[in-house]
Amino acid sequence: MVYRETFDDGTRGWYGWISNSAGPKALEYRRGVVTSRSPWWIDYNHAPPGAGYLHMVFCLSTKGAEGEHQYETAGRSQFIAGGYPTDFTNAEIQVRLRGELELRGAQLVLLLQGNANGLTSGWLLTGKPFAVTRDWSETSVVLADNPSDWTCLGVRHDRGDMYGSLPRTQILANVNVNLMFVLFPLSIAPMGPLNGDPHRLRPGKDYPVWTSQLPEGYVELDTVEIRFP
């Protein structure tokens, strides 16, 4: 079974993200292409002792009525409507993209998230990042269960009610929340002195940061193909 999105008919369920409180935002769209552009929100839900901070660049919900219909700015999720599998074990993902990025230590990587018993766990494919160049290029990765390729996203000190660490094989076998392309890791540099532990506070919300240390630019995506074994 193959999921293939070419964005010829809208964003079809793909979206960006504003913040925890504001939720999703529309991607820039022209026929055949979606674009995500900085500045991106600093996702602090997985601050140390979690894996760290990230930018959510492209997002797609993978299961459930809420994910299919909630995001009015994104259009209906064709992944959910098409009944595609949530077992991503050994699936192959190919993307065609281009852009201009000042990465500043980050990489564009795949994030898979699944939920079991009310706990959402994410795994980053940090061992197989996606290159972003000014010219269109295609990259394919196979989601094999190779421990050295994956990083558990974990959770910050106060979000254990929602996020946590579930086994990698369990999440790969049931990606029932979403998949994302994210920029990770981020270098968080507080702008000025802080009164407290920066990881217990929320960068960009509780204190200002030097945006010159964060990734900057844009990414254009024109094809996503997922081949399920």
- Which residue is it, tokens 């793909």? 14
All structural domains of the chain, each given as residue ranges with its CATH number in brackets, are 2-227 (2.60.120.260)
What's the pLDDT at 21?
A: 83
Q: Of 220, 221, 201, 8, nearest to 95 (Cα)?
A: 221
What's the pLDDT at 76?
A: 82
**pLDDT tens-place values along the chain, 229 residues long:** 999 999 999 999 999 999 888 888 899 999 999 999 999 999 999 999 999 999 999 999 999 765 555 566 787 889 999 999 999 999 999 999 999 999 999 999 999 999 999 999 999 999 999 999 999 999 999 999 999 999 999 999 999 999 999 999 999 999 999 999 999 999 999 999 999 999 999 999 999 999 999 999 999 999 999 999 9
Q: Is the peptide bond before 193 cis (omega within 30 degrees of 0)?
A: no
Instruction: Transcribe 6-43 into DSSP letters.
Output: --TTS-TTEEEEEETTTEEEPPEEETTEEEEESPPP-B
Distances 103 to 161, 173, 213, 216 between C-alpha atoms, Å: 32, 31, 9, 7
What's the pLDDT at 22?
A: 84
Both tokens of residue 101?
């990025």
3-state secondary structure of 112: strand
